[in-house]
Amino acid sequence: MLDDFFIRALVAGIGIAFVAGPLGCFVVWRRLSYFGDTLAHSALLGVTIAYSLEFNIAVSIFLISSVIALILIQLQRKTNLPSDALLGLLAHSSLAVGLVVIGFLTFIRFDIMGLLFGDILAVNKKDLFIIWFGGALILITLKIIWKPLFASTVNYELAEAEGLNPDRAKAVFTVLLAAIIAISIKLVGVLLITGMLIIPTAMARNLSDNPQKMVIFAIIGGLLSVFIGLFSSLEFNTPSGPSIIAAALVLFIFSLLKVKQTIQLKN
Amino acid sequence: MSIENNVLVKLNNVGLKQNQKWLVQGVSLQVEKGKIVTLIGPNGSGKSTTAKIALGFYKNIEGNVEKYTSNIGYVPQKISIDWTLPLRVNDLMLLTENLSDEVINESLTLTGVKHLKDKSLANLSGGEFQRVLLARAISKKPDLLVLDEPVQGVDFTGEIELYELIKELSLKLNCGILLISHDLHTVMSATDHVVCLNGHVCCCGSPSEVAKNSEYKALFGEQASQTLAIYEHKHDHVHTTDGEIKKK
Protein backbone atom coordinates (compact mmCIF):
# COMPACT_ATOMS: atom_id res chain seq x y z
CA MET A 1 0.00 0.00 0.00
CA LEU A 2 2.81 2.38 0.94
CA ASP A 3 4.28 1.87 -2.53
CA ASP A 4 1.87 4.40 -3.92
CA PHE A 5 3.31 7.92 -3.66
CA PHE A 6 -0.08 9.42 -2.94
CA ILE A 7 -0.82 7.08 -0.05
CA ARG A 8 2.64 7.87 1.36
CA ALA A 9 1.94 11.62 1.15
CA LEU A 10 -1.42 11.10 2.81
CA VAL A 11 -0.01 9.03 5.67
CA ALA A 12 2.73 11.65 6.13
CA GLY A 13 0.16 14.47 6.15
CA ILE A 14 -2.03 12.73 8.74
CA GLY A 15 0.97 12.29 11.04
CA ILE A 16 1.96 15.93 10.66
CA ALA A 17 -1.59 17.15 11.31
CA PHE A 18 -1.75 15.29 14.61
CA VAL A 19 1.44 16.97 15.81
CA ALA A 20 0.80 20.40 14.27
CA GLY A 21 -2.57 20.83 16.03
CA PRO A 22 -1.38 20.95 19.65
CA LEU A 23 1.95 22.63 18.85
CA GLY A 24 0.15 25.19 16.69
CA CYS A 25 -2.14 26.08 19.59
CA PHE A 26 0.87 26.95 21.72
CA VAL A 27 2.43 28.91 18.85
CA VAL A 28 -0.73 31.03 18.64
CA TRP A 29 -1.24 31.34 22.40
CA ARG A 30 2.36 32.31 23.02
CA ARG A 31 2.48 34.60 19.97
CA LEU A 32 5.33 32.71 18.38
CA SER A 33 4.17 32.58 14.75
CA TYR A 34 7.03 34.75 13.53
CA PHE A 35 9.42 32.72 15.64
CA GLY A 36 8.20 29.55 13.92
CA ASP A 37 8.72 31.26 10.59
CA THR A 38 12.30 32.09 11.48
CA LEU A 39 13.06 28.49 12.41
CA ALA A 40 11.46 27.31 9.17
CA HIS A 41 13.52 29.71 7.05
CA SER A 42 16.67 28.47 8.68
CA ALA A 43 15.64 24.93 7.72
CA LEU A 44 16.80 25.56 4.15
CA LEU A 45 20.32 25.98 5.47
CA GLY A 46 19.86 22.64 7.20
CA VAL A 47 18.88 21.04 3.89
CA THR A 48 22.00 22.31 2.13
CA ILE A 49 24.21 21.05 4.94
CA ALA A 50 22.49 17.68 4.75
CA TYR A 51 23.16 17.46 1.02
CA SER A 52 26.76 18.61 1.15
CA LEU A 53 27.68 16.31 4.05
CA GLU A 54 25.37 13.50 2.91
CA PHE A 55 23.55 13.64 6.20
CA ASN A 56 19.91 12.86 7.05
CA ILE A 57 17.80 15.90 6.09
CA ALA A 58 15.37 15.81 9.04
CA VAL A 59 18.17 15.49 11.60
CA SER A 60 20.17 18.24 9.93
CA ILE A 61 17.18 20.63 9.88
CA PHE A 62 16.40 19.82 13.49
CA LEU A 63 19.96 20.65 14.55
CA ILE A 64 20.19 23.89 12.54
CA SER A 65 16.79 25.12 13.77
CA SER A 66 17.75 24.39 17.37
CA VAL A 67 21.04 26.28 16.91
CA ILE A 68 19.18 29.26 15.40
CA ALA A 69 16.76 29.23 18.36
CA LEU A 70 19.72 29.27 20.77
CA ILE A 71 21.38 32.13 18.86
CA LEU A 72 18.12 34.06 19.04
CA ILE A 73 17.87 33.65 22.81
CA GLN A 74 21.49 34.84 23.16
CA LEU A 75 20.89 37.85 20.89
CA GLN A 76 17.79 38.78 22.88
CA ARG A 77 19.88 38.86 26.03
CA LYS A 78 22.85 40.71 24.62
CA THR A 79 21.44 43.34 22.27
CA ASN A 80 18.93 46.12 22.62
CA LEU A 81 17.13 45.26 19.40
CA PRO A 82 13.46 44.34 19.64
CA SER A 83 12.56 40.66 19.19
CA ASP A 84 10.81 41.11 15.85
CA ALA A 85 13.89 42.79 14.35
CA LEU A 86 16.11 39.96 15.59
CA LEU A 87 13.70 37.38 14.19
CA GLY A 88 13.69 39.14 10.83
CA LEU A 89 17.45 39.31 10.86
CA LEU A 90 17.83 35.59 11.53
CA ALA A 91 15.01 34.49 9.22
CA HIS A 92 16.22 36.34 6.16
CA SER A 93 19.92 35.92 6.69
CA SER A 94 19.62 32.17 7.20
CA LEU A 95 17.35 31.87 4.15
CA ALA A 96 19.81 33.95 2.12
CA VAL A 97 22.85 31.97 3.30
CA GLY A 98 20.98 28.75 2.53
CA LEU A 99 20.25 29.88 -1.04
CA VAL A 100 23.82 31.14 -1.54
CA VAL A 101 25.19 27.77 -0.42
CA ILE A 102 22.83 26.04 -2.87
CA GLY A 103 24.33 28.26 -5.59
CA PHE A 104 27.78 26.89 -4.75
CA LEU A 105 26.69 23.28 -4.72
CA THR A 106 26.48 23.04 -8.50
CA PHE A 107 27.23 19.33 -8.48
CA ILE A 108 23.89 18.56 -6.82
CA ARG A 109 20.59 19.14 -8.58
CA PHE A 110 18.18 20.88 -6.21
CA ASP A 111 14.46 21.11 -6.56
CA ILE A 112 14.17 24.58 -5.03
CA MET A 113 10.42 24.75 -5.56
CA GLY A 114 10.06 21.42 -3.77
CA LEU A 115 12.11 22.66 -0.82
CA LEU A 116 10.22 25.90 -0.53
CA PHE A 117 6.69 24.63 -1.11
CA GLY A 118 6.74 20.89 -0.51
CA ASP A 119 6.62 18.01 -2.95
CA ILE A 120 4.03 15.26 -2.88
CA LEU A 121 6.41 12.94 -4.77
CA ALA A 122 9.30 13.44 -2.36
CA VAL A 123 7.99 11.48 0.62
CA ASN A 124 9.62 8.05 0.87
CA LYS A 125 9.14 5.22 3.38
CA LYS A 126 12.01 6.41 5.53
CA ASP A 127 10.39 9.84 5.79
CA LEU A 128 7.17 8.18 6.93
CA PHE A 129 9.05 6.45 9.70
CA ILE A 130 10.69 9.75 10.76
CA ILE A 131 7.34 11.58 10.70
CA TRP A 132 5.42 9.00 12.73
CA PHE A 133 8.20 8.08 15.13
CA GLY A 134 9.39 11.68 15.55
CA GLY A 135 5.81 12.89 15.77
CA ALA A 136 5.02 10.41 18.54
CA LEU A 137 8.10 11.55 20.44
CA ILE A 138 7.06 15.19 20.04
CA LEU A 139 3.55 14.48 21.33
CA ILE A 140 4.77 12.45 24.30
CA THR A 141 7.22 15.20 25.25
CA LEU A 142 4.52 17.84 24.87
CA LYS A 143 2.24 15.80 27.12
CA ILE A 144 4.97 15.72 29.77
CA ILE A 145 5.60 19.47 29.73
CA TRP A 146 1.95 20.37 29.14
CA LYS A 147 1.15 21.56 32.66
CA PRO A 148 4.10 23.94 33.19
CA LEU A 149 3.98 25.12 29.57
CA PHE A 150 0.27 25.82 29.66
CA ALA A 151 0.36 27.44 33.09
CA SER A 152 3.21 29.73 32.07
CA THR A 153 1.38 30.59 28.84
CA VAL A 154 -1.52 31.83 30.94
CA ASN A 155 0.71 33.60 33.45
CA TYR A 156 4.45 33.18 33.78
CA GLU A 157 4.72 34.41 37.36
CA LEU A 158 1.92 32.18 38.60
CA ALA A 159 3.62 29.13 37.13
CA GLU A 160 6.99 30.10 38.56
CA ALA A 161 5.60 30.97 42.00
CA GLU A 162 3.87 27.62 42.30
CA GLY A 163 7.02 25.72 41.40
CA LEU A 164 6.36 24.59 37.82
CA ASN A 165 9.68 25.65 36.24
CA PRO A 166 8.37 27.54 33.18
CA ASP A 167 11.82 28.27 31.71
CA ARG A 168 12.58 24.60 31.24
CA ALA A 169 9.18 24.04 29.62
CA LYS A 170 9.83 26.93 27.25
CA ALA A 171 13.23 25.59 26.22
CA VAL A 172 11.80 22.12 25.58
CA PHE A 173 8.95 23.62 23.57
CA THR A 174 11.44 25.47 21.35
CA VAL A 175 13.14 22.18 20.59
CA LEU A 176 9.76 20.61 19.76
CA LEU A 177 9.07 23.41 17.29
CA ALA A 178 12.39 22.76 15.57
CA ALA A 179 11.47 19.07 15.48
CA ILE A 180 8.09 19.49 13.79
CA ILE A 181 9.66 21.75 11.18
CA ALA A 182 12.24 19.08 10.53
CA ILE A 183 9.68 16.33 10.00
CA SER A 184 7.21 18.30 7.90
CA ILE A 185 9.51 20.13 5.48
CA LYS A 186 9.25 17.57 2.66
CA LEU A 187 5.50 17.66 2.46
CA VAL A 188 4.73 21.30 3.28
CA GLY A 189 7.95 23.14 2.40
CA VAL A 190 10.06 25.75 4.16
CA LEU A 191 7.87 28.77 3.49
CA LEU A 192 4.53 27.30 4.50
CA ILE A 193 5.19 25.24 7.64
CA THR A 194 4.12 28.05 9.94
CA GLY A 195 0.85 28.19 8.03
CA MET A 196 0.28 24.52 8.82
CA LEU A 197 0.81 25.35 12.47
CA ILE A 198 -1.32 28.45 12.80
CA ILE A 199 -4.13 28.41 10.21
CA PRO A 200 -5.96 25.29 11.50
CA THR A 201 -5.39 26.67 15.01
CA ALA A 202 -6.88 30.03 14.06
CA MET A 203 -9.89 28.16 12.69
CA ALA A 204 -10.13 26.16 15.93
CA ARG A 205 -10.07 29.35 17.99
CA ASN A 206 -13.23 30.50 16.23
CA LEU A 207 -15.01 27.30 17.19
CA SER A 208 -13.94 26.67 20.77
CA ASP A 209 -14.47 28.05 24.25
CA ASN A 210 -11.82 26.07 26.08
CA PRO A 211 -8.24 24.97 25.43
CA GLN A 212 -8.89 21.22 25.06
CA LYS A 213 -11.56 21.81 22.45
CA MET A 214 -9.25 24.16 20.61
CA VAL A 215 -6.51 21.52 20.40
CA ILE A 216 -8.98 18.90 19.10
CA PHE A 217 -10.46 21.24 16.50
CA ALA A 218 -6.95 22.26 15.41
CA ILE A 219 -6.11 18.60 14.79
CA ILE A 220 -9.38 18.02 12.89
CA GLY A 221 -8.77 21.19 10.87
CA GLY A 222 -5.25 20.03 10.05
CA LEU A 223 -6.46 16.58 8.97
CA LEU A 224 -9.17 18.05 6.72
CA SER A 225 -6.65 20.46 5.20
CA VAL A 226 -4.28 17.59 4.46
CA PHE A 227 -7.03 15.49 2.81
CA ILE A 228 -8.50 18.29 0.73
CA GLY A 229 -5.08 19.77 -0.08
CA LEU A 230 -3.46 16.52 -1.18
CA PHE A 231 -6.42 15.40 -3.30
CA SER A 232 -6.47 18.72 -5.10
CA SER A 233 -2.70 18.61 -5.44
CA LEU A 234 -3.10 15.28 -7.22
CA GLU A 235 -6.06 16.44 -9.27
CA PHE A 236 -4.71 19.82 -10.42
CA ASN A 237 -0.99 19.01 -10.30
CA THR A 238 -0.27 21.82 -7.82
CA PRO A 239 2.54 21.80 -5.22
CA SER A 240 1.40 19.97 -2.08
CA GLY A 241 2.29 22.63 0.53
CA PRO A 242 0.31 25.51 -0.98
CA SER A 243 -2.64 23.20 -1.68
CA ILE A 244 -2.83 22.11 1.97
CA ILE A 245 -2.49 25.68 3.25
CA ALA A 246 -5.11 26.95 0.79
CA ALA A 247 -7.50 24.25 2.03
CA ALA A 248 -6.80 25.35 5.60
CA LEU A 249 -7.59 28.92 4.61
CA VAL A 250 -10.96 27.86 3.17
CA LEU A 251 -11.78 26.06 6.44
CA PHE A 252 -10.78 29.18 8.37
CA ILE A 253 -13.12 31.32 6.27
CA PHE A 254 -15.98 28.89 6.97
CA SER A 255 -15.23 29.10 10.69
CA LEU A 256 -15.71 32.87 10.52
CA LEU A 257 -19.38 32.24 9.77
CA LYS A 258 -19.71 30.63 13.19
CA VAL A 259 -18.08 33.67 14.83
CA LYS A 260 -20.53 35.93 13.05
CA GLN A 261 -23.43 33.82 14.32
CA THR A 262 -22.23 33.97 17.92
CA ILE A 263 -21.84 37.73 17.74
CA GLN A 264 -25.34 38.07 16.34
CA LEU A 265 -26.70 35.86 19.12
CA LYS A 266 -25.03 38.02 21.73
CA ASN A 267 -26.58 41.19 20.37
CA MET B 1 11.31 34.31 67.89
CA SER B 2 9.28 31.32 66.90
CA ILE B 3 10.24 27.69 66.71
CA GLU B 4 12.15 27.12 63.51
CA ASN B 5 9.80 24.53 62.03
CA ASN B 6 6.87 26.93 62.09
CA VAL B 7 8.63 29.29 59.73
CA LEU B 8 7.55 28.94 56.10
CA VAL B 9 9.69 31.57 54.48
CA LYS B 10 12.33 33.83 55.89
CA LEU B 11 14.01 36.80 54.24
CA ASN B 12 17.38 37.75 55.66
CA ASN B 13 18.41 41.28 54.82
CA VAL B 14 17.44 40.90 51.16
CA GLY B 15 17.77 43.55 48.47
CA LEU B 16 17.39 43.78 44.72
CA LYS B 17 19.21 46.15 42.39
CA GLN B 18 18.04 46.63 38.83
CA ASN B 19 19.55 49.09 36.34
CA GLN B 20 21.80 50.57 39.03
CA LYS B 21 18.79 51.34 41.20
CA TRP B 22 17.83 49.62 44.39
CA LEU B 23 14.22 48.46 44.24
CA VAL B 24 14.33 47.28 47.82
CA GLN B 25 17.14 46.94 50.28
CA GLY B 26 17.71 45.44 53.67
CA VAL B 27 14.37 43.69 54.08
CA SER B 28 14.07 41.05 56.75
CA LEU B 29 10.85 39.32 57.58
CA GLN B 30 9.41 35.90 58.11
CA VAL B 31 6.05 34.26 57.61
CA GLU B 32 4.96 31.56 59.99
CA LYS B 33 2.18 28.99 59.91
CA GLY B 34 -1.18 30.45 60.79
CA LYS B 35 0.10 34.02 60.74
CA ILE B 36 -0.70 36.92 58.44
CA VAL B 37 2.13 39.27 57.53
CA THR B 38 1.10 42.37 55.65
CA LEU B 39 3.29 44.60 53.53
CA ILE B 40 2.17 48.20 53.27
CA GLY B 41 3.80 51.19 51.68
CA PRO B 42 3.31 53.78 48.94
CA ASN B 43 3.45 52.99 45.20
CA GLY B 44 6.90 51.94 44.08
CA SER B 45 8.01 51.15 47.59
CA GLY B 46 8.92 47.58 46.67
CA LYS B 47 5.97 45.63 48.09
CA SER B 48 5.44 43.42 45.06
CA THR B 49 9.19 43.10 44.57
CA THR B 50 9.57 41.88 48.13
CA ALA B 51 6.80 39.34 47.63
CA LYS B 52 8.46 38.11 44.43
CA ILE B 53 11.80 37.83 46.20
CA ALA B 54 10.09 35.69 48.81
CA LEU B 55 8.70 33.52 46.00
CA GLY B 56 12.19 33.11 44.56
CA PHE B 57 11.71 34.92 41.22
CA TYR B 58 15.04 36.71 41.22
CA LYS B 59 18.38 35.00 41.03
CA ASN B 60 20.77 37.86 41.77
CA ILE B 61 19.54 39.21 45.06
CA GLU B 62 21.48 40.47 47.98
CA GLY B 63 20.96 38.58 51.23
CA ASN B 64 19.20 35.25 51.23
CA VAL B 65 15.79 33.63 51.32
CA GLU B 66 15.08 30.50 53.30
CA LYS B 67 12.04 28.67 52.01
CA TYR B 68 10.62 25.73 53.93
CA THR B 69 7.68 24.85 51.71
CA SER B 70 6.98 24.39 48.03
CA ASN B 71 3.21 24.24 48.38
CA ILE B 72 2.46 27.86 47.54
CA GLY B 73 -0.66 29.65 46.34
CA TYR B 74 -0.09 32.95 44.58
CA VAL B 75 -2.38 35.77 43.51
CA PRO B 76 -0.31 38.14 41.36
CA GLN B 77 -0.98 41.85 41.29
CA LYS B 78 -1.72 41.93 37.61
CA ILE B 79 -2.81 39.14 35.31
CA SER B 80 -4.15 39.54 31.84
CA ILE B 81 -5.57 36.67 29.84
CA ASP B 82 -5.00 36.88 26.13
CA TRP B 83 -8.19 36.54 24.07
CA THR B 84 -6.39 34.06 21.80
CA LEU B 85 -6.50 31.58 24.65
CA PRO B 86 -10.06 30.44 25.33
CA LEU B 87 -10.23 29.80 29.06
CA ARG B 88 -13.12 29.10 31.40
CA VAL B 89 -13.03 29.58 35.15
CA ASN B 90 -12.82 25.81 35.54
CA ASP B 91 -9.72 25.65 33.29
CA LEU B 92 -8.01 28.32 35.36
CA MET B 93 -8.76 26.39 38.55
CA LEU B 94 -6.90 23.39 37.11
CA LEU B 95 -3.93 25.47 35.97
CA THR B 96 -1.21 24.30 38.31
CA GLU B 97 -2.83 21.40 40.14
CA ASN B 98 -5.11 18.50 39.26
CA LEU B 99 -8.06 19.11 41.52
CA SER B 100 -11.27 17.17 41.93
CA ASP B 101 -14.53 18.80 40.94
CA GLU B 102 -15.55 18.78 44.58
CA VAL B 103 -12.53 20.81 45.69
CA ILE B 104 -13.05 23.29 42.86
CA ASN B 105 -16.70 23.79 43.78
CA GLU B 106 -15.81 24.21 47.42
CA SER B 107 -13.18 26.87 46.76
CA LEU B 108 -15.39 28.79 44.34
CA THR B 109 -18.22 28.69 46.87
CA LEU B 110 -15.92 30.11 49.55
CA THR B 111 -15.14 33.17 47.44
CA GLY B 112 -18.73 33.42 46.25
CA VAL B 113 -18.30 32.73 42.54
CA LYS B 114 -19.42 29.13 42.07
CA HIS B 115 -22.10 30.23 39.59
CA LEU B 116 -19.31 31.41 37.25
CA LYS B 117 -17.59 28.03 36.99
CA ASP B 118 -18.33 27.41 33.31
CA LYS B 119 -18.12 31.04 32.25
CA SER B 120 -15.38 32.26 29.99
CA LEU B 121 -12.78 34.37 31.79
CA ALA B 122 -13.13 37.07 29.17
CA ASN B 123 -16.68 37.75 30.36
CA LEU B 124 -15.88 38.28 34.05
CA SER B 125 -15.78 41.66 35.74
CA GLY B 126 -12.61 42.77 37.52
CA GLY B 127 -14.01 41.90 40.94
CA GLU B 128 -15.31 38.51 39.85
CA PHE B 129 -11.94 37.72 38.30
CA GLN B 130 -10.15 38.62 41.54
CA ARG B 131 -12.46 36.26 43.45
CA VAL B 132 -11.68 33.47 40.99
CA LEU B 133 -7.95 34.09 41.37
CA LEU B 134 -8.27 33.89 45.13
CA ALA B 135 -10.32 30.69 44.87
CA ARG B 136 -7.63 29.20 42.64
CA ALA B 137 -4.86 30.10 45.07
CA ILE B 138 -6.61 28.56 48.07
CA SER B 139 -7.98 25.49 46.27
CA LYS B 140 -4.75 23.51 46.56
CA LYS B 141 -4.68 24.08 50.32
CA PRO B 142 -1.27 25.73 50.29
CA ASP B 143 1.09 26.11 53.22
CA LEU B 144 1.95 29.61 52.11
CA LEU B 145 -0.36 32.08 50.42
CA VAL B 146 1.14 35.12 48.75
CA LEU B 147 -1.58 37.63 47.96
CA ASP B 148 -0.66 40.77 46.04
CA GLU B 149 -3.61 43.10 46.48
CA PRO B 150 -6.11 40.26 46.28
CA VAL B 151 -9.26 42.31 46.58
CA GLN B 152 -8.59 45.08 44.06
CA GLY B 153 -11.78 45.92 42.21
CA VAL B 154 -13.98 43.94 44.58
CA ASP B 155 -17.04 45.81 45.87
CA PHE B 156 -17.02 47.19 49.39
CA THR B 157 -18.97 44.48 51.20
CA GLY B 158 -17.15 41.81 49.21
CA GLU B 159 -13.86 43.27 50.29
CA ILE B 160 -14.66 42.87 53.97
CA GLU B 161 -16.00 39.37 53.33
CA LEU B 162 -12.87 38.30 51.49
CA TYR B 163 -10.52 39.69 54.12
CA GLU B 164 -12.51 37.79 56.72
CA LEU B 165 -12.18 34.69 54.56
CA ILE B 166 -8.43 35.20 54.29
CA LYS B 167 -8.15 35.48 58.03
CA GLU B 168 -10.31 32.42 58.52
CA LEU B 169 -8.19 30.43 56.08
CA SER B 170 -5.00 31.25 57.89
CA LEU B 171 -6.50 29.60 60.94
CA LYS B 172 -8.36 26.76 59.25
CA LEU B 173 -5.61 25.62 56.91
CA ASN B 174 -2.96 26.75 59.34
CA CYS B 175 -1.21 28.41 56.43
CA GLY B 176 0.98 31.46 56.48
CA ILE B 177 -0.10 34.47 54.47
CA LEU B 178 2.02 37.20 52.97
CA LEU B 179 -0.43 39.93 52.07
CA ILE B 180 0.06 43.15 50.17
CA SER B 181 -2.66 45.65 50.70
CA HIS B 182 -3.50 49.29 50.35
CA ASP B 183 -6.46 49.09 52.62
CA LEU B 184 -5.11 50.26 55.95
CA HIS B 185 -8.40 49.66 57.76
CA THR B 186 -8.43 45.96 57.06
CA VAL B 187 -4.71 45.59 57.42
CA MET B 188 -4.81 46.96 60.89
CA SER B 189 -7.70 44.79 61.96
CA ALA B 190 -6.77 41.44 60.45
CA THR B 191 -3.02 41.21 60.58
CA ASP B 192 -0.54 39.72 62.99
CA HIS B 193 2.50 41.51 61.74
CA VAL B 194 2.83 44.63 59.59
CA VAL B 195 5.88 45.56 57.57
CA CYS B 196 5.88 49.11 56.34
CA LEU B 197 8.06 49.47 53.26
CA ASN B 198 9.50 52.41 51.43
CA GLY B 199 12.46 50.98 49.55
CA HIS B 200 13.58 49.60 52.89
CA VAL B 201 11.75 48.55 56.03
CA CYS B 202 10.49 51.77 57.59
CA CYS B 203 9.04 50.07 60.57
CA CYS B 204 7.49 46.78 61.47
CA GLY B 205 5.67 45.11 64.30
CA SER B 206 2.15 44.46 65.43
CA PRO B 207 -0.48 46.74 63.87
CA SER B 208 -0.73 48.86 66.98
CA GLU B 209 3.03 49.32 67.19
CA VAL B 210 3.27 50.33 63.58
CA ALA B 211 0.41 52.75 63.78
CA LYS B 212 2.23 54.57 66.54
CA ASN B 213 5.45 54.74 64.59
CA SER B 214 6.39 58.15 63.33
CA GLU B 215 7.76 56.90 60.01
CA TYR B 216 4.44 55.23 59.31
CA LYS B 217 2.73 58.54 59.91
CA ALA B 218 5.21 60.35 57.72
CA LEU B 219 4.36 57.91 54.91
CA PHE B 220 0.63 57.71 55.23
CA GLY B 221 -0.25 60.88 57.05
CA GLU B 222 -1.87 61.57 60.36
CA GLN B 223 -5.20 60.31 59.03
CA ALA B 224 -3.90 56.80 58.53
CA SER B 225 -2.81 56.28 62.06
CA GLN B 226 -6.30 57.19 63.18
CA THR B 227 -7.69 54.13 61.45
CA LEU B 228 -6.55 52.01 64.31
CA ALA B 229 -8.55 54.09 66.73
CA ILE B 230 -11.65 52.45 65.37
CA TYR B 231 -10.48 49.15 66.73
CA GLU B 232 -8.56 50.28 69.73
CA HIS B 233 -8.47 52.70 72.61
CA LYS B 234 -7.69 56.36 72.40
CA HIS B 235 -4.06 57.25 72.80
CA ASP B 236 -2.89 59.29 75.69
CA HIS B 237 -0.25 61.05 73.65
CA VAL B 238 0.29 62.67 70.29
CA HIS B 239 3.08 62.36 67.75
CA THR B 240 4.53 65.46 66.21
CA THR B 241 5.74 65.35 62.65
CA ASP B 242 9.37 65.19 63.68
CA GLY B 243 8.74 62.03 65.65
CA GLU B 244 8.51 63.52 69.13
CA ILE B 245 5.91 62.11 71.49
CA LYS B 246 3.93 64.57 73.54
CA LYS B 247 1.71 63.62 76.45
CA LYS B 248 -1.75 65.01 76.22
Amino acid A116: pLDDT:
83
A155, B76: Cβ pair inside 8 Å?
yes
A154, B81: Cβ pair inside 8 Å?
yes
Flag whether A253 is in a domain. no
Per-residue pLDDT tens over the stretch B193-233: 888 888 888 888 888 777 777 777 777 776 665 655 444 43
B72, A163: Cβ pair inside 8 Å?
yes
CB atoms within 10 A of CB A106: 8
From A29, A147, A160, residue closest to B85, measured CB to CB: A29
From A29, A158, A164, residue closest to B82, measured CB to CB: A29
Flag whether A229 is in a domain. no
Query: Of the candidates B193, B149, B145, which has an alpha carbon nearest to the alpha carbon of residue B172?
Result: B145
| DSSP track, B224-236 | HHHGGGGTSPPPS
* Residues whose CB falls within 8 Å of the CB of residue A59, separated by 6 or more in sequence, listed in order: A50, A182
Overall size of chain B counted in residues: 248
Measured between beta carbons, the chain A residues lying within 8 angstroms of B85 are 29, 153-154, 211
Instruction: Using a pLDDT cut of 90, give the percent of chain B over it.
Output: 21
Flag whether A109 is in a domain. yes
Query: Of the candidates A64, A42, A66, which has an alpha carbon nearest to the alpha carbon of residue A53?
Result: A64
Interface residue A150 vs chain B (CB under 8 A): yes
Measured between beta carbons, the chain B residues lying within 8 angstroms of A205 are 84, 86
Per-residue pLDDT tens over the stretch B150-172: 888 888 888 888 888 888 888 88
- CATH number, position A36: 1.10.3470.10
Q: Per the structure, how many domains does chain A have?
A: 1
Residue B204 to residue B238: CA distance in whole angstroms: 20
Residue B8 to residue A12: CA distance in whole angstroms: 53
Measured between beta carbons, the chain B residues lying within 8 angstroms of A159 are 95-96
Interface residue A80 vs chain B (CB under 8 A): no
Starting at the edge strand found earlier in the chain, the sheet holding B7-18 runs B21-32, B7-18, B62-67
Query: Of the candidates A223, A211, A218, which has an alpha carbon nearest to the alpha carbon of residue A255?
Result: A218
Interface residue A213 vs chain B (CB under 8 A): yes
Architecture of domain B4-71+143-160+170-247: 3-Layer(aba) Sandwich (3.40)
- Higher pLDDT: A105 or B74? It is B74
Establish how many alpha carbons lie within 13 A of residue A150's alpha carbon, considering only the half-sphere containing its beta carbon.
23
Per-residue pLDDT tens over the stretch B19-71: 888 888 888 888 988 889 999 888 888 888 999 999 988 888 888 888 888 88
Residue A70 to residue A240: CA distance in whole angstroms: 31
Domain boundaries along the sequence of chain B: 4-71+143-160+170-247, 79-141
Flag whether A266 is in a domain. no
A residues 12-51 closer than 8 Å to B (CB)? 28-29, 31
State how far residue B186 is from chain A, nearest Cα, in angstroms.
Answer: 25
Q: Is the backbone of residue B146 left (phi > 0), alpha (psi -120 to 50) or beta?
A: beta
* Averages of pLDDT over each 10 residues, chain A, 267 residues: 84 95 94 88 87 84 90 85 88 89 79 81 88 96 95 90 89 92 87 92 93 96 95 88 94 87 61
Measured between beta carbons, the chain A residues lying within 8 angstroms of B82 are 29, 31
Q: What rounded mean pLDDT belongs to chain B?
A: 82
- Phi and psi (nearest 5°) for B153? 80, 0
Query: Helix, strand, or coil here: B162?
Result: helix
Confidence (pTM): 0.84
Residue A126 to residue B222: CA distance in whole angstroms: 79
Structural domain for A186, as ranges: 5-190
Amino acid B244: pLDDT:
55
Instruction: Using a pLDDT cut of 70, give the percent of chain B over it.
Output: 87
**Chains A, B: CB contacts under 8 A, how many?**
62
Chain B residue set in contact with A, beta carbons under 8 Å: 52, 55-57, 70, 72-74, 76, 79, 81-82, 84-88, 91-92, 95-97, 120, 146
Residue B174 to residue A79: CA distance in whole angstroms: 47
B95, A153: Cβ pair inside 8 Å?
no
Per-residue pLDDT tens over the stretch B181-194: 877 777 777 788 88
